Amino acid sequence: MKSWVDLYGEHQWLRGMHDREVANELRAVLRRLSEKPYAALRRDAQSRLVEARAPRSTTVQYTLGRERSGEALLLSELPEPVRDRVALREALLSVLLRFDRSVQRLQELNIMLSGLRLDGTPWALAVHLPHEDRTLGRPQGDREGLGACGHAALHCHVGPTLDVKPKIRVPLPPLRPAQIVEWMISQAIPTPEFEPAPWPGVEAMLHPS
């Protein structure tokens, strides 16, 4: 049990972050993903990470795409050797983040990539970190489900859709939003061009000579 309690603690620790810093990290990833020759997103995707806040509120939210509609992956426009490795016909990336700026804390995260496989069947990846506030309507806060193993606070759904049973919730290490986007893209486009931590680079960092 201790490992699961520790993981829950790490997820709580992860929430401490400054929204503007997170937004800049995300923009850096989105910019890289929208620049040629390996552009998986439409040009200047980084400018479509949209900040919004209600007047006199400390809550700040970020969404991706015009009208919060997400950003389509340009899978068919990828150069040929890369395109051949992609097993999806289409995919849409959405990012939904909510912060309390006054305490520099991530309240809620939902980053999703969903679309169609080459055979036309649906496919979805969705990383969730539920809102931590315990309210009358949600007394459990981010402690959803039965426990910290079966329903870890930061978890990823994998499936044809999010409603198909059994509902899979893979516990995730405490990854920041930009790294979650990097990971998702690496799953959809499994080529060296979209791998942010190639093994030779990892080796060089582990054993600098």
Q: Does the footprint of another protein cover residue 33 (CB under 8 A)? A: no
Rounded Cα–Cα distance for residues 206 and 11 (Å)? 25
Which residues from 103-142 bind another protein, rule CB under 8 A?
A: 108, 110, 112, 114, 124, 126, 137
Number of H helices, E strands in the chain: 5, 8
Contact predicate 120/158, CB 8 Å: no
How long, in residues, is the chain? Answer: 209
Q: Does 24 bind another protein (CB under 8 A)?
A: yes
Q: CB of 167: closest distance to another protein in angstroms? A: 9
User: What x/- string results for residues 153 through 172 when contact with another protein is judged by CB under 8 A?
Assistant: --------xxx---------
98 binds another protein (CB under 8 A): yes
Q: What is the largest CA-CA distance in the chain?
A: 57
| CA distances in angstroms from 95 to 100, 127, 178, listed in the order given | 17, 10, 10
Q: What are phi and psi of 6, to 5 degrees?
A: -60, -40
Candidate list 17, 50, 74, 158; residue touching another protein; CB under 8 A: 50
- State the residues that interact with another protein by CB under 8 A: 20, 23-24, 27-28, 31, 35, 44, 46-55, 59-61, 63, 66, 68-70, 92, 94, 96, 98, 108, 110, 112, 114, 124, 126, 137, 161-163
